Amino acid sequence: MYRSEYPRPQFAREDWLCLNGVWEFCFDDENVGHAEKWYEGHQFPLKIQVPFPYQAELSGINDQSFHDHMWYRRTFSIPNKYLDKRVILHVGACDYESEVYINQRLVKHHIGGNSSFSVDITDYLTYTNEEIVIYVYDPSKDEFIPRGKQYWHEENAGIWYTRTSGIWQPIWLEFVDDVHITDFRLTPDIDTGTVKIETNLSKCADVYLEVEIIDQGQTIVESSIKVRNKTLTITFDVFQGSIDATNTHGHGKTWSPEHPYLFDIYFRLIRDEEIIDEVKSYFGMRKIHQQNGLVYLNNKPYYQKLVLDQGYYDGGLLTAPKDECFIEDIKLAKAMGFNGCRRHQMVSDSRFLYHADRLGFLVWGEMANSANFSSEYVNRMVNEWMEVIKRDYNHPCIVTWVPINESWGVPNLKTNPLEQHHVLTMYHLTKSFDNTRLVVCNDGWEMLKTDICAIHNYRHGAPTNIEEHEKFLKSLSTKEEMLSSMPANRPMYISGYEYQGEPILLTEFGGISFDKDQNGWGYTTVNDEETFLKEYERLIQAIRASDCIVGYCYTQLTDVFQEVNGLLTIKRQPKVDMNKIKAINDTVGF
């Protein structure tokens, strides 16, 4: 059994072929594969279930030891009806450095374990029995690659987990005309009721671009534009002057967690009155901004109640066993009164973002960070992060970008000017590509320029420690207390930078361990459901009593390996009554 759903719903074509499933596989621990030309007919002795990493149980290999070099192989055939089409190979994510060979010829080299990549393989095909070989290099101990929570030691410890090497998101083929749409950006503007569309084509040609926007089954925009270059930018009126569309009190036609209103959109390329490419997508009319110390969603103050979601799955590691897992996580979080998540230290599968779009769930898109700093790290981080933002730009669920968390990758940020310039660069680079969302330059502490003052605080004390309870309550009580706190002995802002009136959110707290078997850890520990609920309520009451906190993110949604501080187990079983968690969360907000 393998995941066979279409991998990229926001850029969907009907003509495609899934390459998930059983592949031949081989470790190359001696790193001799290139010298011996394993891409030219080498026999790989193992079988692996793609897209699960070899460390995962569901891969069929389930080996957590270090293997930095690995090879994949499988064959496929091009269906007869696509023999006159260009063939594009898409890889959702392959960690970390990839080489793709088609029929023994190198067609693509990609660096980055979290970002997607594509390559036109048409000119390398034989149209008989095609062979694809993928070589992967994932340096287990390298502290200078964006690795997120993947540990550089073999055994899990603390907040660090099992690595995810090789192909870990879907892989598929698409069949297109030589003139086709390569990508597009959809930028909604609820203030004008319009959406700006920027499209890119594979080549210049004598074609028309037809755009159709559909609102609940009714076509509201239908336009055909002569394309004179590879790029085309055009703006369409979506609300069309309707007061009902902008009535956010009655929800109208804006997107929010409470009312995830989506418009369908079709792109069709027409040549000689024939459709040569058709792409289906969707968008939400959604605005996020901050002013006067508040976050606004669709021009109304909005209280974010987020949960930290590390994206690990039982048996699959960072790869969800099935599409329904994404739906389940979102529905469980919403059932507990959360309206979004920080997708922590990993880049989400496109299917997760799709379900967050349609179910109504805010997402803070975060980059997997490295552990250490170097000039090579800077190059890796910048290139991969830009690929991630470009891929996910069109998702209305994403409201905040978080390039760096807790000074990971910049451990000497307080004193090293190079690291400070890097953090500032990541902030401004992100804003230069996407000024429609908020950006947190360094979530947790040691901020420079940022759109949200994002503070971490786990010093809430054990259930019986009344003195620590009072300190925690005081530490959240006022803006002055929040800004003077020193989590992990780090200041809130780097010397030379200061708070500029940004909204203050408590973006990590809690982490209460409730595990009947007590086989792991949390920031504090309770032994029964009643005590857990009392502790959770105490923390939320402290947030409610604050005169400055305008949103929070609780640690965390599920247990992950030795961290047993989830609201759910790794198998997604609730530890406490979810209705009671929701009732507590419902006590906070505007």
Strand 438-439 and strand 398-402: pairing? parallel
CB atoms within 10 A of CB 25: 24
pLDDT at residue 59, rounded to an integer? 97
pLDDT at residue 241, rounded to an integer? 76
Q: Would you give the DSSP letter of residue 403?
A: S
pLDDT at residue 353, rounded to an integer? 98
The mean pLDDT of 299-323, rounded to a whole number, is 97
| b/e sequence 417-432, b meaning 16+ C-beta within 10 Å | eebbebbebbbebbbe
Using the predicted structure, report yes or no on whether residue 244 has a pLDDT greater than 70: no
Gap between the Cα atoms of 296 and 361, Å rounded: 15
User: CA nearest 138: which of 68, 84, 76?
Assistant: 68
Gap between the Cα atoms of 466 and 469, Å rounded: 5
**pLDDT > 70 in the chain, percent:** 98
Confidence of residue 1 (pLDDT cuts 50, 70, 90): low
Q: Report how far apart, in Å, the C-alpha atoms of 237 and of each of 191, 245, 249, 480 are.
A: 11, 12, 21, 45
pLDDT at residue 41, rounded to an integer? 86
Mean of per-residue pLDDT scores for the chain = 95
Q: Is the peptide bond before 393 cis (omega within 30 degrees of 0)?
A: no
Using the predicted structure, report yes or no on whether residue 518 has a pLDDT greater than 70: no
Least confident window among 182-196, 355-369, 518-532: 518-532
Using the predicted structure, report yes or no on whether residue 146 has a pLDDT greater than 70: yes
Gap between the Cα atoms of 584 and 34, Å rounded: 58
Gap between the Cα atoms of 193 and 238, Å rounded: 6
The mean pLDDT of 510-521, rounded to a whole number, is 84
Q: In the chain, what are the domain boundaries?
A: 16-176, 191-283, 303-414+450-585
Gap between the Cα atoms of 39 and 566, Å rounded: 44
pLDDT at residue 3, rounded to an integer? 82
Gap between the Cα atoms of 22 and 5, Å rounded: 16
CB atoms within 10 A of CB 410: 25
Gap between the Cα atoms of 235 and 215, Å rounded: 17
Gap between the Cα atoms of 522 and 514, Å rounded: 8
The mean pLDDT of 342-364, rounded to a whole number, is 97
Phi, psi of 532 (to 5 degrees): -60, -50
Residues near 31 by beta carbon (within 8 Å), at least 6 away in sequence = 68, 69
Q: Quote the crossing angle between the two packed helices 375-392 and 350-359, to the nearest 10°.
A: 40
CB 199 within 8 A of CB 184: yes
Specify the 3-state DSSP secondary structure of 188.
strand
CATH class given for the domain over 303-414+450-585: alpha beta
pLDDT at residue 514, rounded to an integer? 86
User: CA nearest 397: which of 101, 120, 98, 188?
Assistant: 188
CB 308 within 8 A of CB 341: yes
The mean pLDDT of 391-409, rounded to a whole number, is 98
The mean pLDDT of 97-121, rounded to a whole number, is 98
CB 557 within 8 A of CB 307: yes
Gap between the Cα atoms of 295 and 302, Å rounded: 6
Query: What phi-psi label fits residue 483: left (phi over 0), alpha (psi between -120 and 50 degrees) or beta?
Result: alpha
The domain defined by 191-283 folds into: Immunoglobulin-like (2.60.40)
Gap between the Cα atoms of 114 and 118, Å rounded: 14
- In whole angstroms, how large is the CA radius of gyration of the chain? 24
Handedness of CA 332, 337, 340, 341 (dihedral sign): negative
The mean pLDDT of 278-287, rounded to a whole number, is 98
pLDDT at residue 467, rounded to an integer? 93
User: CA nearest 102: which of 63, 84, 129?
Assistant: 129
pLDDT at residue 426, rounded to an integer? 98
Q: What is the 3-state secondary structure (H, E, C) of 31-51?
A: CCCCCCCCCCCCCCCEEEEEC
Q: What are 439-467's pLDDT values in tens digits? A: 999 999 999 999 999 999 999 999 999 99
Residues near 61 by beta carbon (within 8 Å), at least 6 away in sequence = 25, 46, 48, 54, 55
CB 570 within 8 A of CB 559: yes
Confidence of residue 525 (pLDDT cuts 50, 70, 90): very high
- The reply to whether CATH 2.60.40.10 applies to domain 16-176 is no
Q: What dihedral do alpha carbons 499, 379, 51, 42 form, nearest 10°?
A: -170
Q: Which has more pLDDT, 407 or 516?
A: 407
The mean pLDDT of 78-98, rounded to a whole number, is 97
Gap between the Cα atoms of 565 and 307, Å rounded: 12
Using the predicted structure, report yes or no on whether residue 517 has a pLDDT greater than 90: no
CB 73 within 8 A of CB 131: yes
CB 313 within 8 A of CB 559: no
pLDDT at residue 456, rounded to an integer? 98
Q: Report how far apart, in Å, the C-alpha atoms of 33 and of each of 97, 101, 291 are.
A: 15, 13, 56
Strand 105-111 and strand 97-102: pairing? antiparallel
The mean pLDDT of 415-435, rounded to a whole number, is 97
